[in-house]
Structure 1
Amino acid sequence: MTEVFAVLVTIDVRPETIDEFTAGLQANAVATRGEPGCLRFDVLRTRDDPNRFVLYELYSDEDAFFVGHRQAAHYPAWVQLCERCVPPGGRSNTYAVPAYPDGLTEHA
């Protein structure tokens, strides 16, 4: 089995750019979900801070994220959006692999 690769992204958005950011985030999510190797791309907004988002991204392997996703045609627009809407230090990525990868497909 190829090792499934997960990315958890926490993003704090400048309040004055929230409308631009949410529109761009939606476009990025739709495009990413269509990428080969993308198994899941969930967008969450925290309850206690409407300017904080958490992305849960699941890929078939690391290359699907680090190569396929980051070389996708839509990715430069995402980077530019974050440069405009996210303050320095306002985004963090956590990389992980499932502790029980076989369980990912049991309920899919």
Structure 2
Amino acid sequence: MSTSASYFAVHVNIVCKPGTEEVFKQASLANARESAKEEGILRFDVLQDTSEPSKFTLVEVYKDAEIAPKAHKDTEHYAKWRDAVADMMAVPRQAQKFTTIFPSLEQGWSYPTEGDLE
């Protein structure tokens, strides 16, 4: 039986230098695909602004506020992403941190357990 809980969400807002959007997107997708497999991560979404394509938001939802985010930043795929995109950013990335309210069950955030993510 599932119980109601709050999770830790981070929105990472990024502005890329003009002309780097596609390379940034591909690096972020590679990171997101690996991040979605991590035990402590419920969601890892990559969003691109429709009116300003150089703006992206990463939506990360963790099972907790301490262990899972640190574990994520200790992964090889995060380090590879961080290093690959560092020179693409027009301004330093900004993070907003949240406590989730809805959905309140893990199943509302989790990816399906079968099949590939695309």
- Scaled by the length of structure 1, the TM-score of the pair is 0.84
Give me the CA root mean square deviation. 2.1
- Scaled by the length of structure 2, the TM-score of the pair is 0.78
Q: 1:77 to 1:60 in 2, by over 3 A?
A: same
Per-residue CA deviation, residues 10-66 of structure 1 (Å, 9 max, x unaligned), is 11011122222111111011111111111011111111101101111101112101x
Query: Is the counterpart of residue 99 in structure 1 residue 81 in structure 2?
Result: no
Structure 1: unaligned runs, 5 residues or longer: none
SS at match of 2:101: coil
Q: 1:3 to 1:106 in 2, by over 3 A?
A: closer
Which is richer in helix?
1
Q: 1:34 to 1:107 in 2, by over 3 A?
A: closer
What's the counterpart of residue 6 of structure 1?
9
Q: 1:21 to 1:4 in 2, by over 3 A?
A: same
SS at match of 1:48: coil
What's the counterpart of residue 43 of structure 2?
40
Number of equivalent positions: 106
CA distance in 2: counterparts of 1:71 and 1:106, whole angstroms:
26
Q: Does the CA contact (< 8 Å) of 1:4 and 1:101 recur in 2? A: no
Identity in percent:
30
Runs of 4+ in structure 1 over 3 Å off: 103-108
Structure 2: unaligned runs, 5 residues or longer: 111-118
CA distance in 2: counterparts of 1:94 and 1:31, whole angstroms:
22
